[in-house]
A and B are shown apart, each in its own frame.
Chain A
């Protein structure tokens, strides 16, 4: 008999080495998350995947699944906490959805809708952060960065490079570029790198591809963020853009493409 954990009362099988998030995704159970992406090492920083395991708060993406765990996930209380955390992410940066190219393809925005977030609730921080438009094909808009470090990990773990890092402390944290000048243009990032496409928000965008897919036909206009096979949907679309196959109907511009 295989080992199981219980998520909201449902028995979910798991294998040794899997986290609660791994087991949940495999069983088509959505646990909201932003800094997690299957295939990259888990991070546990956004805390959106916070769940209560036998009454104790843990991050689903980093906590190993263990037999006997009784997990609360999709409860009104937890979703309220997640909504507050999402609001925190909104107010600490400068997220102006209507003027952002990522709108509709943005996971932060999609999670906010999913959790029923109607406003930022907390007072805005209005931080001043630098934009780096030095690169010929990429732009780095730190106003929108949510410190998920997906680009940091993608660069190290998938691209075999070390283009990004997070610097500073507390609310002064910011994404930095590992190059002599600190500018993206002087780094060894290339437009085909995973790190150039993985940003869940509009902090790293591909230049010259603005608004190709109209609002209303973008990823989260057609899909819920809670679809657990979203990674495949997104991957297909990324490939489709990269191949520039015009014969396939454009469904959504994903990950900045």
Chain B
């Protein structure tokens, strides 16, 4: 049954809950009931959504609610500890006076800006001990965020290398005018001829996707832009949303006309909320210029776009989970088949494309497929935006034609003594130096664009540990292998990193990793064990040198098991520890 949101944009459940969280600092039992009533949704649906998304809380958060990124590239938990100490607050526990709460969140897409955080949903980057100390004072004096140094909230683009997409100066409406006289078949042909493949990482042929959607029998179709850029280490969509939003919306409009959609959605990750106002105003300008709305540019078709803002759930980057989220539900990936192109949003054929894909599509329609197709390799046409972060002198966005080698990127980024590169984020591949001659391409190293560099000073085991915690935290929990398996893998890595593991534990890790990869319901589970599997394969020494050489070691940590007894007896002295 279609929800109210289909007709009334302001009342999307996620948006109503965000407002409530901001206003009351939590979502109370009473609020759940009253929101369920006012939106005419089952109470259990509202409750399950509150419990599913990380940015909603059942217990009150502080008036300053801070979430430090725990990403290997835009996170620094020593700064979190410093702020906790300065403000005399425990992580994840709201201070007794209700002033402040501090916690962690998954990568917030600021990997080119060093340590970053969200405060009351707004991004602050490039944190330092100096900033943290000043911040503690501002919080303690309860100074309004509007009076904080404006420079803290600046997010730069950090474009280091421009190519086909980034060098484009795009005149709003130009691509729509270019397709004025062309049939929808003609446009889909153009996209197909360009060889454009999905830029989210999976690489499905875009023209074919549009064709399937167009050919599916239905009264209504939808186009959705996936701007839930959640893969740690990826931030290229942030730059496109910030500086190429018109091109993106034009790409969506072209897609809409090609497939016969009248409604589109931009699903923006909650971490990028700071861009919402600009995106809304770009949409408004396009409406006023006749580029959205009824009878666009007198071409006889209607189309408009609404923005849905997520609330902290990596899984919503999976297209069917994203659709569930737009439908005001928890982001649980659907059973496939049917695929969204035949049964997507509200059961109608739906195209879900990545931001970069739609930007490229607008360029292809404007310049013709040759513009795109002549660049790249035989199976990977055009250019790719790479988000470079980690241990290098020049982190940022690099646009390359497909076929660039890993080493060339490392050289451009000024990376030295590189131990490993994580390509495609934690869900991608961890590669060692002997793989640096490989190329970025669908037929070699496929990637959504995350490129994290780790030099010799890094403890790779801790990186892999971080990734396994990330997946255990982000697993939606729908299927058994991923729900239980990602936690088993995280627990296994806990044990290895704490120096308590034996060779048997590594066998267990590999066995569980293989099962989770092969038997999970969706891409999250299928890729979650990648870093562990690559680590065991390419960096076995990292694991082995941390092993405790014993025949057997108990699964449980005896000292940690005594914690409850210590709490009950209010003891924490040396005698109370093993």
Secondary structure of the B side of the interface?
helix
- With both beta carbons as reference points, the residue of chain A lying nearest to B488 in the complex is identified as A122
Q: Is the CB of A172 within 8 A of B519?
A: no
Q: Which of B44-52, B129-137, B215-223, B257-265 contacts A (4 or more CB under 8 A)?
A: B44-52
Return A50 CB to nearest CB of chain B, in Å: 5
B336 to chain A, nearest CB (A): 8
Q: 1/0 per position for B469-494, CB-CB distance to A under 8 A? A: 00011111111110111111001000
Q: Which residues of B contact A59 (CB under 8 A)?
A: 335, 521
Instruction: Determine if A44 is an interface residue (Cβ-Cβ < 8 Å).
Output: yes
15 of the cross-chain contacts (CB-CB < 8 Å) are A43-B335, A44-B335, A44-B521, A45-B478, A45-B521, A48-B480, A84-B512, A85-B481, A85-B515, A147-B477, A162-B44, A169-B475, A170-B474, A170-B486, A179-B43
**Number of chain A residues whose Cβ lies closer than 8 Å to a Cβ of chain B:** 40
CA–CA, A231 to B446, complex, Å? 47
Whether a CB of chain A sits under 8 angstroms from the CB of B556 is: yes
Chain A residues 103-147 with CB under 8 Å of chain B are 122-123, 125, 147
Q: B486-505: contact bitstring with A at CB < 8 Å (1 yes, 0 no)?
A: 11100100000000000000
Given A47-B519, A176-B44, A182-B47, A169:B313 Cβ within 8 A: yes
A149's nearest neighbour on chain B, judged by CB, is B478
Contact with A along B512-529 (1 / 0, CB 8 A): 100100111100000000
- Report, as a range, how many residues of chain B touch the other chain: 35 or more
Task: Check A91 against B484 for contact (C-beta < 8 Å).
Answer: yes
A-side contacts of B47, CB under 8 Å = 165, 167, 176, 182
What separation, in Å, do the CA atoms of A146 and B436 have in the docked complex?
45
Chain A residues, Cβ within 8 Å of B313: 169
Q: Counting CB contacts under 8 A, is B555 at the interface?
A: yes
- Say whether A42 contacts B335, CB under 8 Å: yes
Query: A23 interface residue, CB < 8 Å from B?
Result: no
Interfacial chain B residues near A178, Cβ < 8 Å:
42-44
Residues of A within 8 A of B294 (CB): none
Give 6 new A-B contacts, CB below 8 A, not counting A45-B478, A168-B51: A45-B480, A84-B512, A89-B480, A123-B491, A167-B51, A170-B472
Q: How far is the CA of A183 from the CA of B491 in the complex (A)?
A: 33
The answer, yes or no, to whether A18 is at the interface (CB within 8 Å) is no
At the interface, yes or no: A26 with Cβ under 8 Å from chain B?
A: no
B519 close to A57 (CB less than 8 A)? yes
A165 near B483: Cβ-Cβ < 8 Å:
no
Q: Which residues of B contact A91 (CB under 8 A)?
A: 484
Contact B556 A64 (CB under 8 A): no
- Chain A residues near B51 (CB-CB < 8 A): 167-169, 172
B518 CB contact (under 8 Å) in A57, A122, A167 = A57
Contact status A169-B44, CB under 8 Å:
no
A89–B52 CB distance below 8 A: no
Residues of B within 8 A of A125 (CB): 487
B405 interface hit (Cβ, 8 Å): no
Residue A185 at the B interface, CB < 8 A? no
For the complex, what is the distance from the CA of A91 to the CA of B484, rounded to whole Å?
9
Residues facing A in B182-218 (CB within 8 A) are: none
Which of B52, B519, B520 lies at the interface centre, i.e. has the most chain A CB atoms within 10 A of its CB?
B519
> Would you call B518 and A171 a contact (CB within 8 A)?
no
Contact check, B52 vs A177: say whether CB atoms are below 8 A apart: no
